[in-house]
Chain A
Amino acid sequence: MSINHLIFQNLKKNLKNYYLYVFALIFTVSLYFAFVTLQYDPAMDEAKGSIKGAAAMGTASILLVAIVSIFLLYANNIFIKRRSKEIGLFQLIGMTKGRIFRILTFENLILYFSSLFIGIFIGFSVSKLIMMILFKITGVETAATLRFSTEALVKTVVVFSVIYIFIMLMNYLFIKRQSILSLFRVLSSTEEKVKKVSLFEMIYGILGIFMILLGYYISSKLFGGDFTTMVELFSAMVFILASVIIGTYLFYKGSVRFIFYVIRKKKDGYLNINDVLSLSSIMFRMKSNALLLTIITTVSALAIGLLSLSYISHFSAEKLAKNNVVADFSMTNKQDAENFKEALAGNEIKYNEKMIEVIQVHADLEEITEINIEDLNADPKNMTIPVISDKAAEGIDLSAEETLFTGYNDTIQKFMPLKSSGRIELKGKNEVIPQNYLGLRKEYIVSFRFTSGGFPVGIVDETIFERLKKDMNPEIQKESTLFIGINLQDETKMEEANDLFQNMNFTGTNDSVLEMSNHQKRNMGLIMFIVGFLGLTFLVTSGCILYFKQMGESEEEKPNYTILRKLGFTQGDLLRGIQAKQIFNFGIPLVIGLAHSYFAVQSGWFLFGTELWTPMIIVMLLYTALYSIFGILSVLYYKKVIKEAL
């Protein structure tokens, strides 16, 4: 048998065993190539929007390379260990290490670079689709064209060749370090011996759970008003991160084992086949993978969290714009409004108009603020709030002593919670008018140009409003005291009206809901796209790594399956046990990752948008579904191993 024949045989055998590795390689190459193609595509300029967008794409491509190279190196590490027996055998029959290395290099060369080119081809074919997705979520209307980018090709080939060189370097070091004997032993030495659960582990275990819960608890308090200065807030965030990550590590190191130990203790030796295959096996194995699992969990939590947040933002863009702009078009300048109305009339677009006078006054809110907000650089005794007359607010009629607040948002509510009633004072330049505060309402009546970024608007009786207006302090007024809201009667004309609006020459600050929502979508869409892209790559690579680990584990446990089948357990019995095991194996990191991201999102989502559940659940379900594929694949692999066991 010649060397070439040997290489060819190995290749054939490996392709069957490592089809998922090849798949992952092709997949990552195509993702990378598609991404880089996008980066260099001229049609992307609009979606990128700005220098910032381009920089984000650039950073993302570097992160992509990092994820991919760590994955490939790690996977290669697993495979070279699995093949150590074969390498030992080659050495035993007198092959030099150099020769073995050359065989491996050549074998990998074929496998790797054929995957690379298949990957590039696939990446090229899907790049148009990916671009269309990007344009869709950023709301850019440009035709996506299929375009082969030479820069992308060069970049991809260079990046992956460098990774290949690193892989070969790793293989070289591996072969160099090993003697024939240690090559034969390598697999058994990596798994630790079965031992009783020690007291230390119990402490670890309890500590791990405690730290995670503590992190969660603090995260739920993060924006609840307990941390008011920037320094406190920042330290709390660092603490949460540290506590949760260390907790996760200890959880894998001890807690899983500890919990399973307690369950087993309860069963008092009376384990059924499912327990045997799941509990007892995981109990001993999860510990040795603690670091890997912690990294996978943390990064998936990060990916899910960021994806949720950006989706929340994207999802809430319209509502947020509506809250900010209030009317379809909000204007602050009378002349601009006249011009725009003329233009609308000229195009036969019907509209309703609403004018509201808005003045800014100082207000003493000390009595109704729940916490000390001095740290927020605001004096509760002298807050600047916008005030309107109750005539302008539909369905509200107040007496001269009453003030109602309206249009608050969650962010402000978190930082500056207001009581539901109390005494306040409204201050003109000279006059101070005490008022009865009646509470908060949700509706937005004037645009965000008047509310200093989300402060509630005070509604007072017409008489009081007139008094305040006469006595107003010109220093704190906004550029205009008039809010002009224009609502279209026919929403379908929105785009047409928006085009007109964009082409007007305005002197004041005017906003369009559609424009604002699109702008938000464009910004968040790009971020969402990038995070999604990275998240997907990470998902696939980490799923593959867990799968490879399971492949190894199944082969190590094969003798156990032989025993169990000899004892009379059917393949079906064993497979059910394996399913339970895989639910734990894949489920535990997934559930913890989801829980982490849930608490992360929960603590700060209101800074990003108005809708929490729908976007977050969609992201989580999607992630779970994709992730489960790897669990199912691993069960199929186990099935094969069990079948061969007897």
Chain B
Amino acid sequence: MNILEAAKIHKSYGNKFNKQEVLKGLDVTIKKGEFVSIMGASGSGKTTLLNVLSSIDKVSYGTITIEGKEMTAMKEKQLAEFRKNHLGFIFQEYNLLDTLTVKENILLPLSITKISKSEADDKFNTLAEELGIYDIKDKYPNEISGGQKQRTSAARAFIHEPSIIFADEPTGALDSKSASDLLNKLSDLNQKRNATILMVTHDPVAASYCNRVIFIKDGQIYTQLTKGEESRQNFFHAIMKTQGVLSGVQNEH
């Protein structure tokens, strides 16, 4: 079953005379339960793609359908509503509200659903245990480490069981230990909860945790790699190789 279908999406900035085309007719399809990452060099349009797919930005033309609903036809207000109920977000800069405790941050998306408090508590407890942040639930973001912040951010994305979770360079600001921690947790959650995750990254290690990697170059899909039954190690090497070909420079990182 396809969760997300994007067809022929174009995105350009600027005006008639000075147009910068960032996305040039991309087609993306993501199935339920997939963990997909988008890779590409700086300026290849990967973040724009993510923003467009996640409805934060509008496409110039083309259609995006999530769970059978065409988002490109929705109005601003409907889009917000849709984001609230069906999408989850993890950002590079954590994007936690620093006046709220960890628990309050995580429960934020639930506050608009009609879920009871005890049910919300249950959800929070299991998720926080899984991500290993239960002990810091009453702390404020400036009292915890970057890894913990990002796990909090991940918990916030998962709490309302969205149809799809968008992650923009989630490991970008983390040290390698915290990064692998987070990625392990993400792929755990992906398997246990059958959650669909779309992640933008330029880190091949991070990408190797996924089922599938989409490479984009100059606003178009360059190639795709599927992990299949391979080990993560082999998949990582495959990614490195493709990236090398893609950028023309071996071992960029």
Contact = CB atoms under 8 A, between A and B. Distances in A.
A570 B124 CA distance: 24
Interface stretch (B6-14, B28-36, B83-91, B192-200): B83-91
Interface string A607-646: 0000000000000000000000000000000000000001
A280 interface: yes
A572 B78 CA distance: 12
A336 to B, nearest CB: 77
A615 to B, nearest CB: 42
Interface in A248-296: 264, 268-273, 276, 280-281, 283-284
B100 A280 contact: yes
Contacts, number: 90
B103 interface: yes
Interface in B65-108: 76-77, 80-85, 87, 89, 91, 95-101, 103-104, 106-108
A269 B112 contact: no
Closest 7 CB pairs of A and B: A568-B84, A568-B83, A269-B103, A280-B99, A272-B111, A570-B80, A563-B95
B97 A568 contact: no
Contact of B111 (A273, A570, A646): A273
Interface string A565-590: 11111101100000000000000000
Majority SS of interface residues in chain B? helix
B104 A567 contact: no
Interface stretch (A101-109, A145-153, A189-197): A189-197
Contacts of B81: 568, 570
Contacts of B95: 559, 562-563, 566
A269 B56 contact: no
A195 B140 CA distance: 7
B56 A646 contact: yes
Interface of A: 193-196, 264, 268-273, 276, 280-281, 283-284, 559-560, 562-570, 572-573, 646
A550 to B, nearest CB: 16
Contact of B83 (A196, A272, A566): A566
By CB atoms of chain B within 10 A, which of A193, A195, A271, A276 has the most?
Answer: A271
Given A194-B142, A269-B106, A280-B104, 12 more contacts: A193-B142, A196-B138, A268-B117, A269-B107, A270-B111, A563-B95, A564-B97, A566-B56, A568-B81, A568-B82, A569-B84, A646-B56
Contacts of B96: 563
Interface string B104-132: 10111111100001001100100000000
B137 interface: yes
B104 A273 contact: no
B99 A281 contact: yes
A525 to B, nearest CB: 49
A270 B97 contact: no
B162 to A, nearest CB: 10
B99 A269 contact: no
Contacts of A193: 142
A271 B142 contact: no
Contacts of A273: 108, 111-112
A276 B100 contact: yes
Nearest to A279: B99
Nearest to A563: B95
Interface in B150-171: 156
By CB atoms of chain B within 10 A, which of A270, A272, A281, A572 has the most?
Answer: A270
A223 B101 CA distance: 49
A567 B83 contact: yes
B107 to A, nearest CB: 5
A573 B111 CA distance: 12
A132 B109 CA distance: 59
Contacts of B103: 268-269
A268 B121 contact: yes
A283 B87 CA distance: 30
By CB atoms of chain A within 10 A, which of B97, B106, B156 has the most?
Answer: B97
A559 B141 CA distance: 15
A275 to B, nearest CB: 8
Contacts of A564: 97
Contacts of A568: 80-85, 87, 109
A567 B105 CA distance: 11
Interface in B219-252: none
B25 to A, nearest CB: 26
A269 B104 contact: yes
B112 A272 contact: yes
Given A268-B121, A569-B80, A570-B77, A194 B110 contact: no
Nearest to A195: B140
Nearest to B83: A568
Given A194-B142, A196-B140, A567-B89, A269 B124 contact: yes
B234 to A, nearest CB: 36
A580 to B, nearest CB: 14
A36 B74 CA distance: 61
16 contacts: A194-B142, A269-B103, A269-B137, A270-B107, A271-B104, A276-B99, A276-B104, A276-B108, A280-B100, A280-B104, A563-B96, A563-B97, A564-B97, A566-B83, A569-B84, A572-B77
Contacts of A559: 95
A559 B96 CA distance: 10
A646 B89 CA distance: 15
Nearest to B94: A563
Nearest to B88: A567
A264 B103 CA distance: 12
B102 to A, nearest CB: 9
A201 to B, nearest CB: 15
A193 B117 CA distance: 30
A563 B85 CA distance: 15
A193 B140 CA distance: 10
A566 B111 contact: no
A466 B163 CA distance: 103
Contacts of A196: 138, 140
A609 B87 CA distance: 66
A483 to B, nearest CB: 72
A502 B142 CA distance: 79
B80 A565 contact: yes
A560 B104 CA distance: 14
Nearest to B95: A563
A646 B51 CA distance: 11
A264 B100 CA distance: 10
Contacts of B104: 264, 269-271, 276, 280
Contacts of A563: 95-97
